[in-house]
Amino acid sequence: MKKNRLWMAMGGVVVLALLVWAFAPSALEVETAVVSQGRFERSVQEDGKTRLRDRFVVSTPLSGRVARITLKQGDVVEQGAVLAMLWPATSALIDARTQQEQRERVGAMEAALLRAVANVERAKAALDQAVADLKRNETLAKQGFVSPTQYESGRLTVRLREKELESAVQDEHVTRHELDQSRIAVRQFAPGSEGRQQRAWEVKSPIAGTVLKVNQQSEGVVLAGTPLVELGDPSRMEVVVDVLTEDAAQITPGTVATLSGWGGANALQARVRLVEPAAFTKVSALGVEEQRVNAVLDITSAPEIWRALGDGFKVEVRVLVQVVDNALKVPVSALFPVGARSAMFVVEDGRAQRREVEVIARNGVEAWIKSDLKPGAMVIVYPPSKLASGDRVATLQK
C-alpha cells in the first residue's frame, strides 16, 4: 500500500514538472554586443561642394561692340593675354531730315560765331576809346580843367569796358565750342569719316589661370560692366559645407576633416580654415527651418591626387570634432530613453537586467557612456519592446 502511494507521489511530481516546463515562458532570442573600451571619435558629416578660392570675372570697361570670343572653357591664359576686342559704341543712325537740320544748325552757329567776333572787336574799340578819354582827362585834371569827380568817372568807365571785353571773349569761346559740337554731329555719319575708324580696345586677363566660363561667346553690342569671361586657378581649390549652428560651435579653425564620395579611389584630407561668422536659414528636406553656417576647408592632400576635382563638385565632408582615448563605449542601438536619461539591457546569468547609464557623447555608431560596467560585458542591441528586466534571454545565433 505504501509502495503504491510512493509511486503515485513520484508520478504527480513528474506530471507537475512537465506542466511547469510546458507552461513556463521560453527564453527570448536577442542580438547582443560587447561593451568595449578604446578611442571614441565624434564627427559632423554633411555634403559640401568645391569652389575656387579666387574667381575673376572680366567685364567690359565701356559700352560698345565686342568681337566673337574664341576662348573655350578649360583654356589656359597668361596674365596680360588678350581675351576680347571691344570697339566703343557709336551714336545712333539718323535720317536725312535730321542730318539736314544738323547742317543748318552748323550754319546758324557759324553766323553766331561771326557775331561774337564782331562783339569782341566792338568791345575792344570801346575799351580803346575809354582808355584814351581817361588819359586826356588825366592831363586836364593836372591843369585844373577837369574836376576829380569827372576823372574818377573816366576810370570807372575803363573798368566797365574791360569787363565787357572779357564777356564778349567768353561768348566767342562758347560759340566756337557749340559750333565744333554741331560739326562733330554732322561729321559722325559722313562717308569715310573718322567716326567709323575708331580704335579697338583690348580686354586683357588680370591673372594667369584657366577659363571657367565664357559669358559672351558671340559678337554683339554690350553695355559697360557686362561679364565676358570668368577666370580662376584650379590649383587653389577649397571646400564649403553648411553645417548646423550647434555643430559649427564645436568646429574651430585647424580642425581635421576627411573628404569622400568625390569620385576618387581614396579619401582626401582637409583642414578647416574658416567658420563664417554669419548664419542663414535653410529649409530641410522635411520642411524644417534650420539655422546653418558655412565652414570653409582647405584640401591638404597632394594636388596630383585630386587633379580631377573641378569647381562646384559634390563631396562628402566628415569633420572630426571630438576624440577621447580609453572611453567606455556601447553601440548606439543598445540605448533607449528612460525619462531624461538613457538605459540598456545587460545580459547576466541568462537574464536581461536593465541598467541606466549616463551618455556623455555619441556618434552614428557608438556612444561614450559613464557606468560601472566592465569592458566585455554583454548588452542587448535593438531590444524588443516586450522585453522586461529579469526576462530570460538567449543569444541569437547568426
Domain boundaries, the chain: 26-40+325-395, 43-52+234-324, 55-88+201-232, 96-196
Whether 375 contacts 35, CB under 8 Å: yes
Higher pLDDT, 291 or 153: 291
Dist CA 320 CA 270 (whole Å): 11
User: Degrees (nearest 5) of the Cα angle 368, 36, 267?
Assistant: 75
pLDDT at 198: 62
171: which 3 cell numbers? 561768348
Dist CA 110 CA 182 (whole Å): 10
Task: Provide the CATH number for the domain formed by 55-88+201-232 in this structure.
Answer: 2.40.50.100
First-to-last CA distance in the chain?
56
Residue from 59, 69, 82 nearest 222 by CA: 59
What mean pLDDT comes out for the span 71-76?
89
Dist CA 259 CA 309 (whole Å): 12
181: which 3 cell numbers? 559740337
pLDDT at 238: 92
pLDDT at 195: 45
Residue 32: C-alpha distances to residues 125, 264, 367 (Å): 121, 36, 15
**243-258: pLDDT as tens digits:** 999 888 889 899 999 9
Alpha-helical segments (H) within 144-268: 148-187, 245-248
333: which 3 cell numbers? 542601438
Residue 2 has pLDDT above 80, yes or no: no
Determine whether domain 26-40+325-395 maps to CATH 2.40.420.20: yes
Residue from 163, 164, 133 nearest 151 by CA: 133
Higher pLDDT, 222 or 196: 222
What mean pLDDT comes out for the span 324-351?
90
pLDDT at 245: 92
Counting Cα atoms < 13 Å in the Cβ hemisphere of 290 gives 17
What mean pLDDT comes out for the span 351-360?
90
Whether 241 contacts 46, CB under 8 Å: yes
Least confident of 31-40, 162-171, 210-219: 162-171
What mean pLDDT comes out for the span 331-351?
90
**378-388: pLDDT as tens digits:** 999 999 888 88
| Longest Cα–Cα distance in the chain | 189
Residue 146 has pLDDT above 50, yes or no: yes
Looking at every residue in the chain, the average pLDDT score rounds to: 83
Determine whether domain 43-52+234-324 maps to CATH 2.40.30.170: yes
Confidence of residue 18 (pLDDT cuts 50, 70, 90): low
> Rounded to two decimals, what is the model's pTM?
0.56
Residue 132 has pLDDT above 90, yes or no: no
Per-residue DSSP letters for 237-285? Answer: EEEEEEEEHHHHTT--TT-EEEEE-SSSSSPEEEEEEEE-S--EEEE-T
What mean pLDDT comes out for the span 281-309?
90
Strands lying side by side in the sheet with 209-214? 55-59, 227-232, 209-214, 76-77
Dist CA 368 CA 324 (whole Å): 9
pLDDT at 200: 82
Q: CB 121: neighbour CB atoms within 10 A? A: 11
Can 26-40+325-395 and 43-52+234-324 be said to share one CATH topology?
Answer: no
Packing angle, helices 96-143 and 148-187, rounded to 10: 160
Per-residue DSSP letters for 40-101? Answer: EEEEEEEEEEEEESSEEEEE-SSSEEEPPP---TT-EE-TT-EEEEEEEPPPPP--HHHHHH
Residue 194 has pLDDT above 50, yes or no: no
